[in-house]
Amino acid sequence: MHKSQTYQFQYALLVVILIAFFFINISLGSVNIPLRSIIGSLFGNIDNTTWDVIITNYRLPKAITSILVGSGLGVSGLLMQTLFRNPLAGPFVLGITSGASLGVALIILGSGLFGGFFATALISKWSIVIAASLGSFLVLLAVLAVSHKVRDTMAILIIGLMFGSITAAVVSVLSYFSSAEQLQQYVFWGFGSLSNLSWKELGIFFLIYLVGMILSIMSIKSLNSLLLGENYAKSLGINLKQSRFIIILATSLIAGTITAFAGPIAFIGLAIPHLTRQIFKTSNHKILLPAVFLFGAITMLICDSIAQVPGSDYTLPINAITALIGAPVVIWLLVRQRKIMF
């Protein structure tokens, strides 16, 4: 907002880092492919067809997924923290992820209960996506309805956690009646995965993500006025009900689809906005939103690169890596700055 305070240099630096990690991410994997061939493949001239297939059908979609997941979770976390006036808020804490998990659990684990026809019809990738999105949207609506009644933000967070407990309970009941195969499918979904997305799936993912991002960008103004408090925001002519709905819709679209396609990925949504605020030292969403976007994407690319365990055939669950790498960084930042920026 301040004329003399632009962040072009920081943004440019982040974009360069993002591009660098994008290429590093693509260059890593169980098959060693030289950088020249990677660039050649991206621009459509490569002699080695095996390498070409690996890059265009496996590594490139995965790197793009990482960027979408990281930036999306970061932005939705930022939206939630401002809307609920709470630095602890995030898609995970508020139960959005639990809602998605519940939807997926009902589809994967519950399909046995619905009988043979549904079992085959339901467990397609799309039904999982739809179930996860619906689940997260419904939980968010419930949290929002409660937040209308309860002014205490701590209470709202506890209610979000309660939704998490209910989900866990339903999942364990469903697990009891499920086959080992179904259980394994659900557990693997829970690990989170950035790979296995075809270009077609990535296209749908991107479309929904894009709608959510556009809604988020449209909310920048109301988010900034919410920094003053709800009554001030109202006095500035902000339609609170409408802005709230748009912010929640954007979050559930982004966080819901991410959870649907990549599984419940923890930590990023909570931590990235904090990291960004500590580094950029502002709460102005016009500055924060693009920064959170870039930081989230970079972090996710780094985490995914590590998850592949360079030089080996193993791929670790991405969900574990995000927290293992990220949590110490946040702790270190908070200890160094001695206070939280919000």
- Binding stretches for other proteins (CB under 8 A): 1-3, 5, 82, 85, 217-218, 220-221, 224-229, 231-232, 234-239, 277, 281-284, 286, 341-342
Q: Cβ closer to other proteins: 177 or 342? A: 342
Q: At what angle do helices 318-337 and 180-191 cross, to 10 degrees?
A: 30
Report the nearest approach of other proteins to the CB of residue 9 (Å): 18
Q: Name the CA radius of gyration of the chain, rounded.
A: 20
Q: Cβ closer to other proteins: 86 or 127? A: 86
Closest among 271, 264, 221 to 246, alpha carbons compared:
221
Report the nearest approach of other proteins to the CB of residue 289 (Å): 10
Taking CA atoms, 141 is separated from 33, 166, 337, in Å, by 47, 16, 35
How far apart are alpha carbons 109 and 90 in whole angstroms? 27
**At 295, which helix (H) or strand (E)?**
helix 285-307
Residue 238, phi-psi category: left (phi > 0), alpha (psi -120 to 50), beta (remainder): beta
3-state secondary structure of 105: helix
C-alpha 261 chain-centroid distance: 10
How far apart are alpha carbons 134 and 253 in whole angstroms? 9
Q: Cβ closer to other proteins: 116 or 237? A: 237
Q: Cβ closer to other proteins: 238 or 294? A: 238
Q: Cβ closer to other proteins: 206 or 280? A: 280
Report the nearest approach of other proteins to the CB of residue 208 (Å): 22
Report the nearest approach of other proteins to the CB of residue 222 (Å): 9
Report the nearest approach of other proteins to the CB of residue 147 (Å): 14
Asked whether 96 and 251 are in contact (CB, 8 A), the reply is yes
Q: Cβ closer to other proteins: 33 or 341? A: 341
For residue 108 the two structure tokens come to: 């994967």
Report the nearest approach of other proteins to the CB of residue 204 (Å): 28
